């Protein structure tokens, strides 16, 4: 298959939809199983309390069961909210993805209107440094392209009405919006994922 390139960006709404799809694919089943386990603990706690309202273990099980069920279903919501807030503070980013026979390389394009800071690794952690300070080359943090090796990474993909989603090792997601792609690019990307069994 011939290599091809796409240029794209992500809106917060697209990132939100991608995160939700990722959660449904990889975390929903686990959340349902944990909810069932916590519901059993809740049921046992309620049974203890109904039969003996002075039963401290019954109250403890009830509170733990309710708390864990609540946490199981609200944690993803707050994680997504925090992620979107963090990404919003970064401003607009554009990406270039190159799809080849054995790898996918994704590069973040630095937009000219963004103020970039020079950072270095020091004994006190990662620090912003002034332009006139000389720092050793090995201490400067550089931008590297993301390289996804098709032979070693566990990959999966989903196509929605508006997005192509690429999942890497059940821990990362890359979102390719169809609004940024021509019909030919959309077809190439779909065929690429099919051809590579992703």
Predicted pLDDT of residue 124? 56
Predicted pLDDT of residue 54? 87
Measuring CA to CA, how many Å separate 76 from each of 15, 30, 101? Answer: 14, 12, 35
Predicted pLDDT of residue 111? 55
Q: Do the bridges between strand 118-122 and strand 4-9 make them parallel or antiparallel, or are there none, so unpaired?
A: unpaired
Predicted pLDDT of residue 126? 53
| CA 54, 55, 58, 63 torsion-angle sign | positive
The full DSSP string for the chain is: ---EEEEEE--HHHHHHHHHHHHHHHTHHHHHHHHHHHHHHHHHHHHHHHH-TT-HHHHHHHHHHHHHHHHHHHHHHHHHHHHHHHHHHH---EEEEEE-SSEEEEEEEPPTTSPP-EEEEETTEEEEE-TTS---GGGB-----EEEETTTS-EEEEE-SSEEEEEETTTEEEEEEGGGS-HHHHHHHHHHHHHTT-
Predicted pLDDT of residue 123? 54
Looking at the structure of the chain, the number of domains it has is 1
Domain hosting 130: range is 4-195
**Whole-structure pTM value:** 0.70
Predicted pLDDT of residue 186? 92
Q: What is the largest CA-CA distance in the chain?
A: 75
Predicted pLDDT of residue 84? 83
pLDDT digits (tens, 9 = 90+) for 148-174: 888 888 898 999 999 999 988 888 889
The parts of the chain modelled with pLDDT lower than 50 are 113-114
pLDDT digits (tens, 9 = 90+) for 7-18: 999 888 998 999
């Amino acid at each position: 298959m011939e290599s091809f390139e796409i240029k794209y960006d992500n809106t917060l709404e697209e990132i939100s939809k991608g995160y939700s799809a990722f959660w449904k694919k990889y975390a929903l089943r686990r959340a349902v199983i944990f909810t069932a386990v916590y519901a059993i603990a809740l049921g046992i706690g309620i049974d203890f309390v109904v039969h003996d309202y002075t039963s401290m273990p019954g109250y403890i099980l009830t509170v733990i069961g309710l708390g864990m069920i609540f946490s199981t279903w609200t944690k993803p919501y707050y994680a997504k909210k925090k992620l979107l807030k963090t990404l919003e503070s970064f401003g607009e980013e554009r990406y270039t993805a190159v799809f080849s026979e054995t790898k996918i390389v994704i590069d973040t394009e630095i937009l000219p209107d963004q103020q970039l800071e020079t950072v270095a690794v020091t004994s006190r952690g990662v620090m912003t440094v002034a332009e006139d300070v000389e720092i050793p080359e090995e201490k400067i943090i550089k931008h590297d392209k993301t390289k996804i090796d098709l032979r070693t990474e566990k990959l999966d993909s989903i196509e929605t009405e508006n997005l192509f989603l690429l999942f890497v090792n059940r821990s990362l997601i890359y979102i390719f919006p169809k609004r940024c792609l021509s019909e030919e690019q959309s077809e190439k990307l779909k065929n690429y994922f099919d051809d590579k069994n992703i």
